Amino acid sequence: MSLLTELHAEIERCKNCELARHRTRVVPGEGPENAKLLFIGEAPGHHEDQTGRPFVGQAGQYLDQLIGMIGYKRSQVFIANVIKCRPPDNRDPMPGEIMACGKWLERQLDLIKPRVIVTLGAFAARTLLGSKAPISALRGRFHEYRGTRLMPTFHPAYV
Ligand code: URA
């Protein structure tokens, strides 16, 4: 079993916050362990919660188009979310939930070591950059997250 598969098995058992009581499936993320490009969204929605896979609903179709436009296939990139379980009624994740879930994404990034992180939407960009700035001010230029280049862009569901 690869280290990433082991980590995902650990994430699937997580009960570190309230969201564990509401979820159907945990959505750790998916993609190759050696992916150069890593996309990060906010949190699973209904379809993701049902399937255990990130970005499979309508936002996922837009994300697939975005990935295609920059010359990649979905199978070549890693796709994850800041929060691994669906918040009830798709409400915004709470600070305690963000804190409890943050270590999973950090451990994924430590294993995958992507060349570039692309955050999708305001929530992921602000959480990772520790910024309150609007996404319109953050997007379109490189920032840095724990030594890796990070490009914020709009959320595919918004576009
Ligand atoms: N929106 C997200 O931010 N993540 C998903 O996985 C699906 C929709």
| Model pLDDT for residues 17-36, shown as the tens digit of each residue | 999 999 999 999 999 999 99
| Model pLDDT for residues 117-153, shown as the tens digit of each residue | 999 999 999 999 999 999 999 999 999 999 999 999 9
Strand order in the sheet with 37-41: 78-81, 37-41, 116-120, 148-153, 143-145
Residue 158 pLDDT exceeds 90: no
84, 95, 135, 142, 146 from 107: Cα distances, Å: 13, 19, 25, 22, 12
pLDDT for the residue 157:
85
Joined together, the tokens standing for residue 46 give 């209904």
pLDDT for the residue 1:
84
- Residue 155: phi and psi, rounded to 5, are -75, 135
User: How far away, in angstroms, is 91 Cα from ligand 1 center?
Assistant: 13
User: How far away, in angstroms, is 102 Cα from ligand 1 center?
Assistant: 16
Q: Is the CB of 49 under 6 A from ligand 1?
A: no
User: Confidence band (pLDDT; 50, 70, 90) for 159?
Assistant: confident
Q: Is the CB of 93 under 6 A from ligand 1?
A: no
Percent of the chain whose pLDDT exceeds 90:
97
What's the average model confidence in pLDDT over 85-95? Answer: 95
User: How far away, in angstroms, is 155 Cα from ligand 1 center?
Assistant: 9
Q: Is the CB of 29 under 6 A from ligand 1?
A: no
Mean residue pLDDT of the chain comes to 97
